[in-house]
Amino acid sequence: MPLRVILADDHQIVRQGVKYLLEREGFDVVGEAADGREAVRLARELLPDVAVVDLTMPQLNGIAVAREILNSFPRMGVVLFTMHTEDHQVVGALRSGIRGYVLKTQAVEELCLAIREVALGGTYFSPRVSRVAESYLH
């Protein structure tokens, strides 16, 4: 059974492209959101295995989305999919319970790996931010 994923990004072309790539890799993209509030609503309604959320979105940013989702569904995986590499963003994501942090500059294989790892209860951080994540987690 394929992993069920929702995508949240305020750029439609990004959502469409990522959805196409994920479905090609065998994931079931069950919902798409253009803002943070819609992402939380979809997570509650559709109960995906993993929510892939952008950091900067209207209404609620990705960190706030993760907090709301994980307060209700602590086992649901959340992967932050972003361009931001600043230490405070990575630490903020970790504090919210996010277990995956993937940069949009990476190949789709890295996002797929992060989704699979987070769905299994693990963690995944893009190499460029992994130093910050490792020092926070230890």
Q: What does the domain layout of the chain look like in residue ranges?
A: 4-137
Q: Give the pLDDT of residue 16.
A: 96
Q: Give the pLDDT of residue 12.
A: 95
Q: Give the pLDDT of residue 115.
A: 98
Q: How many residues does the chain have?
A: 138
Q: Give the pLDDT of residue 88.
A: 84
Span 4-137: which CATH code?
3.40.50.2300
Cβ-contact 62, 93 below 8 angstroms: yes
> How far lies 14's CA from each of 40, 73, 75, 92, 136, in Å?
19, 26, 26, 23, 30
Determine the Cα angle at 103 with ends 127 and 113, to 5°: 70
> Which residues contact residue 130 at a Cβ distance below 8 angstroms, ignoring those fewer than 6 apart?
none
Q: Which residue has the tokens 């950091």?
A: 55
- The pLDDT averaged over each successive group of 10 residues in the chain (138 residues) is 96 96 97 97 97 93 94 94 86 88 91 97 87 66
- Residue 117 tokens, joined: 């790892």
Q: Give the pLDDT of residue 6.
A: 98
Q: Give the pLDDT of residue 137.
A: 63
